[in-house]
């Protein structure tokens, strides 16, 4: 217990104690008015448009502090679809497809064919988590996903299989969304701003695995390529799973042939089909034991 004469004692009360003092004020028209609330306790004030820069700062700072306190040194980020089913659900998906018109059934069957990538994402996350690499007292290659279903779930699930913690970076959307059950609760973070979520995906990233996905996956993947292509980020292993899918939906060679990127830019990522190939690429890049 400190005293007023203790040199290590703070002379100002901490914010939580000041907040408690504020609740003990006399009940008057003045104290009941929102204007009297402490600014950091006034939610309506914090949500005003003019406070957007402050909310940006808070959304940058909170995850950074929590990840640092958790001893997360670096991450393996895993992007991918929220719609690809796990291998154990393929038969059920096929049964659903059989009851649908052909065009809708084709879509479901295409998703079912990609279930192997759920398996590879889960395996890669488990493999990397089992390595338990520690450097300078911090855990390296901690699995990090978008916290949602499908490929994201597979990533967190693989880390859970290894008894390891993993990060989930969720985002508030108009429709209901909850973190998948395999995200470590105290590393389950939620964002309002896509920009800040994107930043946290890459601040600690030392490797990124990209699986077949939709607009969100394309967005994260191409932004990452742009950051490295322009020199804003240092190179890292970018592991692109599913060559058949990606070359069907994106003609990378045509983009280079058109001259809007260089052919050497196609070397910014490397193709993978299996977790073993992905880990071999990471281990080679960082000169790690396989």
Integer CA distances (angstroms), 130 to 124, 146, 281, in order: 10, 21, 17
Question: What's 72's DSSP letter?
Answer: B
Residue 255, φ and ψ in degrees, nearest 5: -60, -40
Give the pLDDT confidence of 59-75 residue by residue, as tens digits.
999 999 999 999 999 99
Beta partners for 209?
78, 239
Do the Cβ atoms of 70 and 165 come closer than 8 Å? yes
CATH fold group of domain 56-286: Rossmann fold (3.40.50)
Q: What is the mean pLDDT of residues 2-13?
A: 73
Give the pLDDT confidence of 184-238 residue by residue, as tens digits.
999 999 999 999 999 999 999 999 999 999 999 999 999 999 999 999 999 999 9
Question: What's 27's DSSP letter?
Answer: -
Give CA–CA dist 117/119, Å, rounded: 5
Average model confidence (pLDDT) across the chain? 94
User: pTM, whole model, 2 decimals?
Assistant: 0.91
Locus of tokens 């899918």: 245
Angle between helices 115-131 and 151-161 (to 10 degrees): 40
**289 band by pLDDT with thresholds 50, 70 and 90:** confident
Report whether pLDDT(9) > 90: no
Read off the tokens for 11.
């002379």
């Amino acid at each position: 217990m400190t005293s007023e004469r203790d040199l290590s004692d703070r002379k100002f009360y901490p914010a939580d104690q000041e907040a408690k003092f504020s609740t003990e004020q006399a009940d008057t028209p003045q104290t009941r008015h929102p204007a009297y609330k402490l600014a950091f306790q006034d939610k309506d004030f914090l949500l005003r448009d003019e406070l957007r820069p402050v909310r940006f700062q808070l959304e940058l700072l909170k995850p950074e502090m929590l990840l640092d306190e958790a001893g997360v040194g670096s991450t393996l980020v895993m992007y991918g679809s929220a719609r690809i089913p796990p291998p154990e659900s393929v038969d059920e998906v096929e049964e659903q497809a059989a009851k649908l018109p052909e065009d809708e059934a084709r879509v479901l069957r295409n998703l079912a064919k990609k279930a192997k990538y759920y398996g590879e994402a889960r395996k890669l996350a488990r493999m990397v988590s089992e390595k338990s690499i520690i450097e300078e007292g911090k855990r390296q290659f901690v699995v990090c996903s978008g916290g949602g279903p499908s490929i994201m779930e597979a990533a967190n699930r693989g880390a859970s299989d290894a008894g390891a913690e993993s990060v989930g970076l969720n985002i508030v959307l108009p429709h209901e969304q909850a973190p998948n059950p395999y995200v470590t609760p105290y590393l389950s973070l939620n964002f309002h701003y896509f920009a800040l979520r994107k930043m946290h995906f890459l601040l600690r990233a030392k490797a990124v695995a990209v699986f077949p996905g939709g607009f969100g996956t394309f967005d994260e993947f191409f932004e990452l390529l742009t950051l490295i292509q322009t020199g804003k980020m240092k190179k890292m292993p970018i592991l692109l799973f599913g060559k058949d899918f990606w070359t069907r939906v994106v003609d990378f060679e045509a983009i280079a042939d058109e001259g809007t990127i260089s052919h050497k830019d196609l070397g910014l990522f490397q193709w993978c089909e299996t977790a073993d190939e992905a880990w071999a690429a990471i281990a080679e890049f960082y000169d790690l034991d396989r």
